[in-house]
Amino acid sequence: MKIVSSEMKNVLPKTHLNILNVATDLSNQMDTDLYLVGGCVRDIMMGLNNSNFDIDLTGSNVDKTFATRLADKLGGTVKNSSVFGTHKLSVPVGIKDNLEIDLAKCRSETYKNPGELPDVKPGDLFQDLGRRDFSIAAMCIVLQSPSNQDWKSGQLIDPHSGYRDVVNKELRVLHNESFADDPTRMFRLIRYSCRLGFDIEESTKNIFESSLNYVTAVSGDRIRSELEKIFDEEDVALILYNCVKLGLLPAFLTKFDCNHLMELKSISHLHRDDQDSVEFWLGILAMNAGKSQIEYLSKILSLSSKQNDVINDLASLNEQIKQNESFLLSDDLRQSDIYKFLLKYRLTSIRVCAETTPNKAIKALLEIYLNSLINTNIELSGEDLISLGISKGPEIGKLLNDLLYAKLDGHLKSADQETQFVKDYISVHKDIN
């Protein structure tokens, strides 16, 4: 018997331990067994300190009432409940953070056809652990033992030898049909192997190779959702490299050339900004795509309109750069010219292009825009222009732009110089009128 209470205390933040205590007390009152499951258990067993632990709880009688009462006790809310008996809670931790807690009744799953969603039925703990993707994700920690077992609080239940695989740093599926049942697990396999630095166990590798063709049976929505999880990881380039190298992405995107993703691994740290990481990486995927390839990607991955906009915008930026290359590389190109040229494109597209263009001069120009030009602001406001004598209307906007262009080109260094610029403008235009 392995009791891991001290590992839990070493790894989990106090907030999490407190939540587990409250949930355990509730399970006692409501007469249900309760277990900590999922990636959190894996990370505890690996001794990984990661402040973003998800909390995943399961138990035989963890139902809507349990979810609502736990949310009340923790001052949170039940965000949603699914037909499969799962509940997502949002619980405040600290002043402005919220933590998500996933609650589910223990269940069993059976798959009729590859790639389809499973039939889900209530099940026992062992069936619940047996439906999971990898042995390291099929362990749980007892918070409240069922009455027919003599399990201790903090005891590790590990029917698939997940802890051995944690120690050996290996990812192993629980049975030969695992990837046929749910081919999205192949994306998860590569994602975890890169994130955790784990090898893929030998027979899992063989099952992976012989299951590649099942991936075409999965809906675009589900594959896109796996890709979005990949785009949220620390080392996206490495994961994409392996998705291509192991044949997974080409097996799904049969009419799309993914080979450029093999080149990215050598780029040490690609741009990462949580705000637009999904669109950024979709842009990387589509960086060389022409119109028909973009349509293909959009359809096969059921991209959202925002995602579509980014890859179309990127294609048009690439095209315009190609068409205007000699202008962009001319000696007398001004900063304001760069600004005007790029202003109509999305920052995400410009970032993708800056990371991937083989042309160093174009790259430099895009970086000037991203790192400096877009952060340039003039001192005067529209109100200031009005008080200097410009009438309300479109002329204000035009003059504000002219001021900005002059500042970008280095002609204006202070508010006084900007004021003088406006006065000169007024006197020229007074003369003309």
Footprint of ligand ATP (CB under 6 A)? 38-39, 54, 56, 132-133, 137, 182, 184-185
CB of 412 to ligand ATP, least distance (A): 51
CB closer to ligand ATP, 277 vs 356? 277
CB of 328 to ligand ATP, least distance (A): 42
CB of 91 to ligand ATP, least distance (A): 16
CB of 388 to ligand ATP, least distance (A): 57
CB closer to ligand ATP, 182 vs 418? 182
CB of 187 to ligand ATP, least distance (A): 9
CB closer to ligand ATP, 54 vs 177? 54
CB closer to ligand ATP, 4 vs 378? 4
CB of 372 to ligand ATP, least distance (A): 37
CB closer to ligand ATP, 182 vs 276? 182
CB closer to ligand ATP, 133 vs 313? 133
CB of 259 to ligand ATP, least distance (A): 27
CB-closest chain residue to ligand ATP = 39
CB closer to ligand ATP, 54 vs 367? 54
Instruction: Judge residue 230's burial from the number of C-beta atoms within 10 Å of its C-beta, 0-12 exposed, 13-18 middle, 19 or more buried.
Output: buried
